[in-house]
Amino acid sequence: SILIVDFGSQVTQLIARRVREAGVYCEIAPFGHSWAAYERMKPKGIILSGGPASVHWEDSPRAPHAFFDAGIPVLGICYGQQAMCEQLGGEVLAHDGGGEFGRAFIKVVRESALFDGLWQVGEKHQVWMSHGDRVERLPDGFSVAAQSDGAPYAIATDEARRFYSTMFHPEVVHTPDGGKLLANFARHICGCSGDWTMGAYRAAKIADIRTQVGKGKVICGLSGGVDSAVAAVLIHEAIGDQLTCVFVDHGLMRANEAEQVVSLFRNSYNIPLVHVDASADFLGGLTGVTDPEAKRKFIGAEFINVFEAEAKKIGGADFLAQGTLYPDVIESVSFTGGPSVTIKSHHNVGGLPERMNMKLVEPLRELFKDEVRELGRELGLPEAFVERHPFPGPGLAIRIPGEVTKERCDILRRADAIYLEEIRNAGLYDAIWQAFAVLLPVKTVGVMGDYRTYDSVCALRAVTSVDGMTADIYPFDAAFLSRCATRIINEVKGINRVVYDYTSKPPGTIEWE
Ligand code: XMP
């Protein structure tokens, strides 16, 4: 296995993901807990992540020095490179307002085990830089393996002691060969076998869940989406009828969603499911609420109310299970001393009321969406379900800017169903990460037949993405969009204008709120 020491980078989880993709088991430990993790795991190699700190700051993080005496390979990335070089006797230059961010090309100047069989001396390769400080003098035993004008120590290694370091981020997709570099490190340099699979992940998580839960009772909220369904099936496999699944219909679902989920669980899996129709409470409580964060907080709190009430009915539950994914975590909470700020309180992470007296079980917390889909397949969920577009916990409430009412939900449901039907008919559903309609609190004038209309605007959104962290718009052809617009305006009373959202993420987010 590989131990990843987290210095607080936004993309530490991507390192883990690349290592998993190489078929190698890994765990991430915050730097302060990394020694304990090391003793428990006895890893074959260590990766030091990037991070927002400077080695010149007081109390900035370091790896336990013993890692460098353990006789196993160590790879330092970005801040990890700086910390490692400084710890081994090199020198790091504080940044002077400069730094280097984005695409860069580096030239290979000598051979290294890190890119053995992948890169040749003299070749140039694209990498992704994001750093302020940089290493100024290498520790004894280190020498440069690849460089560019802006990055004299793009790759510096001590091949004898098997210490490797990169100034760039091999874990992001903008370093095209980065996954292969990390695979080289984990498999060839550290000697991990590369036969770890999602099946092994499933088994490991089941063991974790059993340890965490013991004989306790778990209540799991199903939202209709892939994540909570995968979490529920996994937990059910771990603890059987200690799990109670609750599907809360908040009245903010898409058309036919509730029926599909209920049928999947009750008929296909034979997992008992409590179906709570709480739409009156949710919609009632949303009256007059227009602020996006206030909507999320209210909906999150209301979910907990329902779960608590259901938990009481089964004589009390000790744990609440959720299908929280890694992007929800990183975008919702400010990391351990890290720079990440709250973008949205995805209700299943940041918006949890503190009074909640159940502990959380979140078995998908380190996975990305496509990994969850793979785990879903591993658990035997039907392909059509696994491939469903993501749907946010607060549902249509965050697709209706302004006040949410039943009437507006009904209008949006009809428009959304037409849009998705057209997408399916055109065979585009699987090429799109997420597509949905948004009902705007804007009325415009139109003319239909001989009448003046004064109705709402509907925006259509469709994006491609790998993990929801970044996204591009889906480039429909004009004929497709005009077909959708015509159908929606003709068939949905209350909408008289349709627009298409051309915003990528960043700078936009996928949902409008
Ligand atoms: P954003 O809008 O943040 O969305 O770019 C990224 C992904 O997360 C989903 N999303 C949510 N999921 N609760 C959820 O469970 C939420 O509050 C929430 N907000 C956004 C969104 O649909 C997209 O897939």
Nearest alpha carbon, ligand 1 atom 24? 390
pLDDT in tens, 40-72: 999 999 999 999 899 999 999 999 999 999 999
* 207 burial type by CB count under 10 A (0-12 exposed, 13-18 middle, 19+ buried): exposed
Ligand 1 atom index nearest CA of 513: 2
Amino acid at 507: P
How far is the C-alpha of 502 from the C-alpha of 475, rounded, in Å?
Answer: 9
How far is the C-alpha of 494 from the C-alpha of 302, rounded, in Å?
Answer: 29
Nearest alpha carbon, ligand 1 atom 16? 346
Ligand 1 atom index nearest CA of 389: 24
- 347 CA distance to ligand 1 middle (Å): 9
pLDDT in tens, 221-247: 888 889 999 999 999 999 999 999 999
The distance of Cα 334 from the centroid of its chain, to the nearest Å, equals 15
Q: Would you please indicate which residues are annotated as catalytic (active-site) residues? A: 78, 169, 171
Nearest alpha carbon, ligand 1 atom 14? 392
Mutate to test the pocket of ligand 1, among 330, 346, 391 (most ligand atoms within 8 A of CB): 346
- 224 CA distance to ligand 1 middle (Å): 14
Q: Is the ipTM of this complex over 0.85?
A: yes
- 482 CA distance to ligand 1 middle (Å): 27
Nearest alpha carbon, ligand 1 atom 9? 392
- 319 CA distance to ligand 1 middle (Å): 23
Distant-in-sequence, close-in-space partners of 40: CB < 8 Å, separation ≥ 6:
none
Ligand 1 atom index nearest CA of 343: 3
- Measured from CB, residues less than 6 Å from any atom of ligand 1 are 296, 331, 344, 346-348, 390, 392-394, 434, 468, 505, 509-511
Binding-site members for ATP are 223-229
- 325 CA distance to ligand 1 middle (Å): 10
Could you please report the per-residue DSSP string of 353-370? -TT--SEEE-TTTT--HH
Nearest alpha carbon, ligand 1 atom 4? 510
At 341, phi and psi to the nearest 5? -105, 160
Nearest alpha carbon, ligand 1 atom 22? 392
Mutate to test the pocket of ligand 1, among 291, 510, 512 (most ligand atoms within 8 A of CB): 510
pLDDT in tens, 438-493: 999 999 999 988 999 999 999 999 999 877 878 899 999 999 999 999 999 999 99
- 422 CA distance to ligand 1 middle (Å): 23
pLDDT in tens, 240-268: 999 999 999 999 999 988 888 888 899 88
Taking CA atoms, 236 is separated from 269, 270, 291, in Å, by 10, 11, 37
Tell which residue, 298, 332, 304, has the closest CA to residue 404: 298
pTM for the whole structure:
0.76
Tens digit of pLDDT per residue, the chain (513 long)? 999 999 998 889 899 999 999 999 998 899 999 999 999 999 999 999 999 899 999 999 999 999 999 999 999 999 999 999 999 999 998 877 667 778 899 999 999 999 999 999 999 999 998 878 889 999 999 999 999 988 899 999 999 999 999 999 999 988 999 999 999 999 999 999 999 899 999 999 999 999 999 999 999 988 888 999 999 999 999 999 999 999 999 999 999 888 888 888 998 888 989 999 999 999 999 999 999 999 999 998 898 888 889 888 989 889 999 898 877 766 554 333 333 455 666 545 444 445 567 888 999 988 888 899 999 999 999 998 899 998 988 999 999 999 999 999 999 999 999 999 999 999 999 999 999 999 999 999 999 889 999 999 999 999 998 778 788 999 999 999 999 999 999 999 999 999 999 999 888 999 999
For the stretch 47-65, what's the b/e string if a residue is b when 16 or more beta carbons lie within 10 angstroms of its beta carbon? Answer: bbbbbbbebeeeebbbbbe
Binding-site members are 223-229
Ligand 1 atom index nearest CA of 345: 17
The answer, yes or no, to whether the previous bond of 507 is cis (omega within 30 of 0) is yes
Report the run of H or E that residue 385 belongs to, with start and end.
helix 383-386
CB 317 within 8 A of CB 219: yes
